[in-house]
Amino acid sequence: MKDEITSRDDRVANLKGMGCSRKRVEDARFTQGKGNYVDDIKLDGMLFGDFVRSPYAHARIKSVNSEAALKVPGVLAVLTAEDLAPLGLHWMPTLAGDKQMVLADGKVLFQGQEVAFVVAEDRYAAADGIEAVEVEYEELPVIVDPFKSLESDVVLREDTVDENGKATDGAHGPRKHPNHIFTWEVGEKDATEQVIDEADVVATETMYYHRTHPCPLETCGSVASMDKVNGKLTLWGTFQAPHAIRTIVSLISGLEEHNIRVISPDIGGGFGNKVGAYPGYVCSVVASIVTGRPVKWIEDRMDNLMTTAFARDYWMTGKISATKEGKITGLHCNVTADHGGFDACADPTKFPAGFMNICTGSYDIPTAYLAVDGVYTNKAPGGVSYRCSFRVTEAVYFIERMIEVLAIELNMDAAELRRINFIKKDQFPYQSALGWEYDSGDYHTAWDKALKTVDYDGLRAEQAERVEAFKRGETRKIMGIGLSFFTEIVGAGPVKNCDILGLGMFDSCEIRIHPTGSAIARLGTISQGQGHATTFAQILASEIGLPADSITVEEGDTDTAPYGLGTYGSRSTPVAGAATAMAGRKIRAKAQMIAAYLLEVHDDDVEFDVDRFVVKGAPERFKTMKEIAFAAYNQAIPGIEPGLEAVSYYDPPNMTYPFGAYICVMDIDVDTGVTDIRRFYALDDCGTRINPMIIEGQVHGGLTEALAVALGQEIAYDDQGNVKTGTLMDFFLPTAWEVPNYETDHTVTPSPHHPIGAKGVGESPHVGGVPCFSNAVQDAFRPFGLRHTNMPHDHWRIWKTANSLGMHD
């Protein structure tokens, strides 16, 4: 028999399990144009719906007149808030405990807000209909500055005040002002202030992490099909969390959950943009119920940038204290968070500012305090985690800038300052001052490896020479060395403290082994390019000893997949990956009993070896998993049910804490502001590595999104609340021409609490990359007197920095 002559190594290789760079199974369809994205869905009689949107950032709606629109050929219906109100659907709950207008209910709060939904035979007729809807607006004073908002007499949201005009309580406690959403405090305020007051050295800095947008290449959309005969609603959409969408649709529509089937087909990138629930989803459902025909809604790019899911917009003020030798003693962080017109942040309920309290970073900081104030303004709602776990990018940017500023204050090398403050290997599990338990890490090893690889000392010497040459007038190019060491917190999360709208953030996997030794696994997550169908099969291959090529992985259909909370915040591997391993282990446990029966020995006398169970001490006596699978379905085994299936719901005991060390070497032309990334080195430690090829791909992509954010990408408003960056002409997405080649590297520090030790990687490069690119720019100017300048560092702003430092004189 073939198995007997195959070496153990060959058997391992044949599985294509964990640790190998298995080619992706998704790629065959994508490379041939056979993906199935939402906009590819076409149903008989399908209509197209689109929005009339507000041109104003703040206005009262005096009237909406659809008469002319309804006469436009091809237009079937125009929905307004008035039509939705009897169904209770003119407002919907947000993920953050607030509510949001589905269609403008008397007023609009941001430019681009949805005012009416025109349903027509096709998108051209819908566009014609939109043109014909007459809306009368009365402009109101616009507030785009969160600090001014907290002082303004203008009340943005009428539902935040009582009849006496006094601010009512919000979802997270009392409001200080009608335009105030919440205050969130973590840590010890008095103790931190005392430590800072008494410190040898204190560095203070205020920084603005600008508003930006995840901007996946595919925009958001949905297709709703209400089958009135059977009472069933099918909803396809760009959903990063299909089960959560099903529950929300059920709660707000009153349809029973078993009558709703939500399907996330292929998704063209998410990056946090597709976590939330948007008015378009709701309107497509209502329109399908009203018309009895399927209705499609697809955002265009301008809608996408202007209305769904901004990210960041954090004003952060920090104080960091240290001894003369550079040992950090305390950290104080105050944030004013601009949430726009509705608080639609995608955060676990108990964390209104996400995991911003990871802002002590990778450092052993004994005392810390964080306070975040959320504020309403006349900007779009969102506040999503753009390629990061909840607000972790903001936190890591904050601490990695504070370290640099402290280094300036101490007149110390920033790499050395990091090294002397890192949490040490033997301190893990480490309790941070702001409440987290870091699972594992070896920061010094990673940092030393990174510095050595790039010849850090050599780079500093070169930089010093360059400064001298610049001063002598021999060059107009300066050189920056960007450093960043990050610790992420991903894999939300333990149900005891993480839920979204009351739904615990566990995840799930269900496995069915077929009689001939192949399998199907279904998960509660959904890939948006991460390659789940490839990597989850690898986890299973290693766990159950069947080749990954014989395992189909399916996600995204709520009628077939087990309940899960979806894919964002790098949670798929930490949570669903764990569920997959655990379900695999259940399969293996049953397989062991079957093998023992077939081999006529006691259960404890067989052991698992790659793809089979062998009798201990008699390796020639074994049953392969394939044979066991067949027996499970074809042989009556006393005391054992037929079949070989398992399901696991995994509630992680803790988050995972991936980390990494990034170094960027950049040249900057001070006369043009043009940046040239000469080298970028990225060392990631994501624990156990499932597929190195996919990890590398994630790192390349995340770094490129970090480059974009640091060097130019922003959602900018003028003072009337007009979006100035509503197309890809103004909103920076780097092309192949602007992006460098990245060097990737790794260390491996497995997570001690994860069944396979994996920590997640999709977001690390973005989280660590943004401060690295920014620090490179700032470091280049440090010898010329710069302390801090805000992102995005586009050519114009860099030129201005050089100019303000007298470098053009």
Partner 1 sequence: MSKKMHISLTVNGKQEEFLAEPRELLIYTLRERLNITGPHIGCETSHCGACTVTIDGKSVKACTMFVAQADGADVTTIEGLGNPDSLHPLQEAFKEHHGLQCGYCTPGMITRAAKLLEENPNPTEDEIRFGMAGNLCRCTGYQNIVKSIRAAATEMNAAKEAAE
What amino acid positions are annotated as catalytic residues?
240, 387-388, 763
Which residue lies nearer to ligand FES by CB, 269 or 381? 269
Residue with tokens 């198995």: 3
Decide if residue 5 touches ligand FES (CB under 6 A). Answer: no
140 CB-contact burial (10 Å; exposed 0-12 / middle 13-18 / buried 19+): middle
Decide if residue 217 touches ligand FES (CB under 6 A). Answer: yes
The token pair at 541 is 């291959």
* x/- letters, 158..197, toward ligand FES (CB under 6 A): ----------------------------------------
Nearest distance, CB of residue 555 and partner 1, angstroms = 14
| DSSP structural state of residue 177 | S
Q: Which of 74, 22, 526, 470 is nearest to 263 (CA)?
A: 526
Provide the CA 242 distance to its chain's centre, in angstroms: 16
Which residue lies nearer to ligand FES by CB, 83 or 705? 705
Could you tell me how many residues make up the chain?
Answer: 809
Q: Is 258 left (phi over 0), alpha (psi -120 to 50) or beta?
A: alpha
**Strand arrangement, sheet containing 221-227:** 75-79, 114-120, 47-53, 295-298, 221-227, 232-237, 260-263
Decide if residue 35 touches partner 1 (CB under 8 A). Answer: yes
Distances (CA, A) of 662 to 415, 450, 455, 459, 751: 11, 7, 13, 14, 21
Cα separation, 110 vs 307, in Å, equals 8
Decide if residue 529 touches ligand FES (CB under 6 A). Answer: yes
Decide if residue 741 touches partner 1 (CB under 8 A). Answer: yes
Decide if residue 701 touches partner 1 (CB under 8 A). Answer: yes
Mark the segment that binds partner 1 (CB under 8 A) among 227-235, 457-465, 565-573, 736-744: 736-744
Q: Which amino acid is at 124?
A: Y
Nearest distance, CB of residue 122 and partner 1, angstroms = 7
Q: Identify the residue among 139, 733, 748, 787 touching partner 1 (CB under 8 A).
A: 733
Decide if residue 736 touches ligand FES (CB under 6 A). Answer: no
Nearest distance, CB of residue 738 and partner 1, angstroms = 8
Nearest distance, CB of residue 580 and ligand FES, angstroms = 24
Cα separation, 454 vs 474, in Å, equals 26
Which residue lies nearer to partner 1 by CB, 688 or 704? 704
Decide if residue 128 touches partner 1 (CB under 8 A). Answer: yes
Which residue lies nearer to partner 1 by CB, 303 or 313? 303
Q: Which amino acid is at 105?
A: D
* x/- letters, 145..184, toward partner 1 (CB under 8 A): ----------------------------------------
Nearest distance, CB of residue 701 and ligand FES, angstroms = 8
The interface partner of residue 31, options being ligand FES, partner 1, none and the CB cut-off 5 to 8 Å by kind, is: partner 1
Decide if residue 265 touches ligand FES (CB under 6 A). Answer: no
Q: Which amino acid is at 32?
A: Q
Distances (CA, A) of 148 to 139, 154, 161, 432: 19, 10, 18, 34
Nearest distance, CB of residue 34 and partner 1, angstroms = 7
Nearest distance, CB of residue 728 and ligand FES, angstroms = 7
Nearest distance, CB of residue 763 and partner 1, angstroms = 13
Decide if residue 739 touches partner 1 (CB under 8 A). Answer: yes
* x/- letters, 216..235, toward partner 1 (CB under 8 A): xxxx----------------
The token pair at 250 is 């059920």
Mark the segment that binds partner 1 (CB under 8 A) among 89-97, 168-176, 245-253, 699-707: 699-707
Nearest distance, CB of residue 133 and partner 1, angstroms = 17
The token pair at 150 is 């907290």
Which residue lies nearer to partner 1 by CB, 328 or 690? 690
Q: Which of 743, 746, 732 is nearest to 664 (CA)?
A: 743
Which residue lies nearer to ligand FES by CB, 529 or 562? 529
Decide if residue 40 touches partner 1 (CB under 8 A). Answer: yes
Distances (CA, A) of 261 to 39, 257, 405, 794: 18, 8, 52, 45
Cα separation, 635 vs 603, in Å, equals 17
The interface partner of residue 554, options being partner 1, ligand FES, none and the CB cut-off 5 to 8 Å by kind, is: none
The interface partner of residue 40, options being partner 1, ligand FES, none and the CB cut-off 5 to 8 Å by kind, is: partner 1
- Host H or E run for residue 708: helix 692-711
CA angle at residue 737 from 733 to 742, to 5 degrees? Answer: 90
- Host H or E run for residue 786: none
Q: Identify the residue among 32, 63, 164, 230 touching partner 1 (CB under 8 A).
A: 32
The token pair at 804 is 């303000």
Nearest distance, CB of residue 74 and partner 1, angstroms = 8
| Beta carbons of 359 and 331 less than 8 angstroms apart | yes
Decide if residue 194 touches partner 1 (CB under 8 A). Answer: no
Applying CB under 8 A, what is the total number of residues that bind partner 1?
61
Nearest distance, CB of residue 529 and ligand FES, angstroms = 5
- Radius of gyration in angstroms for the set of CA atoms belonging to the chain, rounded to a whole number: 28
Sequence-separated (6 or more) residues with CB below 8 Å from residue 194: none
Sequence-separated (6 or more) residues with CB below 8 Å from residue 572: 507, 523, 525, 527, 530, 532, 760, 762
Decide if residue 215 touches partner 1 (CB under 8 A). Answer: yes
Decide if residue 44 touches partner 1 (CB under 8 A). Answer: no
CA angle at residue 610 from 638 to 520, to 5 degrees? Answer: 70
**Strand arrangement, sheet containing 519-523:** 551-555, 519-523, 507-513, 645-650
Q: Identify the residue among 114, 338, 343, 705 touching partner 1 (CB under 8 A).
A: 705
| Beta strands per DSSP E along 568-610 | 606-609
Question: What is the footprint of partner 1 within residues 320-379 (CB under 8 A)?
Answer: none
| Beta carbons of 156 and 58 less than 8 angstroms apart | yes
Closest chain position to ligand FES (CB): 217
Decide if residue 266 touches partner 1 (CB under 8 A). Answer: yes
Nearest distance, CB of residue 556 and ligand FES, angstroms = 17
Which residue lies nearer to ligand FES by CB, 330 or 529? 529
Decide if residue 270 touches ligand FES (CB under 6 A). Answer: no
Decide if residue 269 touches ligand FES (CB under 6 A). Answer: yes
The token pair at 644 is 């070989």
Spell out the SS3 assignment of 635-690.
Answer: CCCCCCCCCCEEEEEECCCCCECCEEEEEEEEEEECCCCCEEEEEEEEEEECECCC
The interface partner of residue 128, options being ligand FES, partner 1, none and the CB cut-off 5 to 8 Å by kind, is: partner 1
Decide if residue 73 touches partner 1 (CB under 8 A). Answer: yes
| DSSP structural state of residue 160 | G
Q: Identify the residue among 3, 6, 29, 431 touching partner 1 (CB under 8 A).
A: 29
The interface partner of residue 411, options being ligand FES, partner 1, none and the CB cut-off 5 to 8 Å by kind, is: none
- Contacts made by residues 160-165, CB under 8 angstroms, sequence distance 24+: 160/376
Which residue lies nearer to ligand FES by CB, 269 or 652? 269
The interface partner of residue 736, options being partner 1, ligand FES, none and the CB cut-off 5 to 8 Å by kind, is: partner 1
Cα separation, 253 vs 230, in Å, equals 17
Nearest distance, CB of residue 30 and ligand FES, angstroms = 8
Mark the segment that binds partner 1 (CB under 8 A) among 179-187, 346-354, 524-532, 570-578: 524-532
Q: Which amino acid is at 678?
A: R
Distances (CA, A) of 189 to 176, 434, 627: 19, 11, 63
Per CB under 6 A, residues contacting ligand FES are 217, 269, 529
Per CB under 8 A, residues contacting partner 1 are 23-24, 26-35, 37, 39-40, 42, 73-74, 122-125, 128, 215-219, 266-269, 271, 300-301, 528-531, 693-694, 696-705, 727-729, 733, 735-737, 739, 741-742
